[in-house]
Amino acid sequence: MFERRIPEWLRHAPAPSVRGFAILAGFEAVIRGILISVFPVAMLDALGDVARVSSVYFMIGLTSLVAGLLVPFLNRFIPRRWMYLIGASGYVLGCSAAMVGTPALMVTGLVFNSIATVTTFVCFNSYVLDYIARVELGRCETLRLFYSALGWTVGPFAGVLLWGWWPPAPFLISITAALIMMAAFFYMRMGNGKLITRAKKPPPNPLAFLRRFFQQPRLVAGWLFAVIRSCGWWAYIVYLPIYAVENGLGEQLGGAALSITNGALFLTPLMLRWIQARSIRQSVRTGFFVCAVLFGLAGLVPLTPWLIVALVFAASFFLILLDICGGLPFLMAVKPSERTEMSAVYSSYRDVSGIATPGMAWLVLLVSPITGIFALAGAACLLAWSLAGNLHPRLGEARLRPVSDDAIAPT
């Protein structure tokens, strides 16, 4: 008799690869990229007042921050694969509500999308830490950005055009991309991640793991790198277009600059080669130092508006370099038993920068023109450059030989 055997690929799902994670990131870039320029316009159209829109974004930032910190607690009761799918479903629900166009549903849609972003981000990083070796994290980040390039380059411009043609169009595209992303996640069969050890104590409350975070200086430093990098992006994406309009350079300049910058994501494999030829510490310090110089010149030196725009535009390319290597110090310092909890802490950098940057900008504008915001971004990058000097000089290298006596110990 012939023995019927279950195919090997059904009995043992292959471990998720770097390319698999990049594909998931590519679909999420389509979801978010096509809406990044639509939501502000649609919110203003629905609410009719800039101040109301700003207050809504501030409150949504706080909500998203709390939601991200709750993910590890909820993950104790809800398996990670379902947490990821619940988060991805938030994109579908949010876009479905927003495309109706009423003020209440527009705000509801933005809330759902924000919570979906932070939930999938926490789960995504936890899976990466489970399945990707430390020495492969740089390649994973690079391929993630490369696969995301098309969504972030075409999405913002296409989203506004489609919204002007038929308002529900960009939301329907985002829903379709979310459904495909969920299908790809099912196909990858990642399950609930790797089990490290069975818990011997009751689950902590949602904020208990923050104490563990603050007890690990390397994690705190890595998180600050992410926050400061994100503040730099805020200065570029939000305040450069405002500066251009105020100085008579046109309303389209900011959007055009952002599209060109996002197109540089296709260059991330070349940037990875540059990083690999040096070290993570040198790469992180280079990125922050050049950003500090460029933002500082734009904010402190009296130059023509076009030169100031050129300096801030040039800084954006080094922010992309930091997108590749700036998160690695945090990810490489996370203990296996704390992956989900610390991924939630790491994800909070988006919301913290989204709350801190507008608040600091409001204070700066009380005593300075808008270029003062660029100067403040430069000062923050200079702080990060100094902090990155404490990183281990061989961080991220395969440990094939003993560390020399003169190596700087990690802090």
pLDDT value at residue 54: 65
pLDDT value at residue 57: 73
pLDDT, average across residues 185-210: 59
pLDDT value at residue 407: 35
pTM equals 0.69
Highest mean pLDDT among 205-209, 243-247, 287-291: 287-291
- The closest alpha carbon to 151, from 159, 161, 162, belongs to 159
* pLDDT-derived band at 248, boundaries 50, 70, 90: confident
pLDDT value at residue 387: 87
pLDDT at residue 410 is higher than 50 = no
pLDDT at residue 10 is higher than 50 = no
Q: Where are the domains of the chain?
A: 14-190, 207-394
pLDDT, average across residues 6-11: 46
pLDDT at residue 199 is higher than 90 = no
Picking from 17-31, 136-150, 291-305, 335-349, which range would have the lowest pLDDT averaged per residue?
335-349
pLDDT value at residue 178: 95
CATH architecture of 207-394: Up-down Bundle (1.20)
CATH H superfamily, domain 14-190 = MFS general substrate transporter like domains (1.20.1250.20)
pLDDT, average across residues 108-120: 91
pLDDT value at residue 90: 94
**Contact status, residue 50 vs residue 44, Cβ threshold 8 Å:** yes
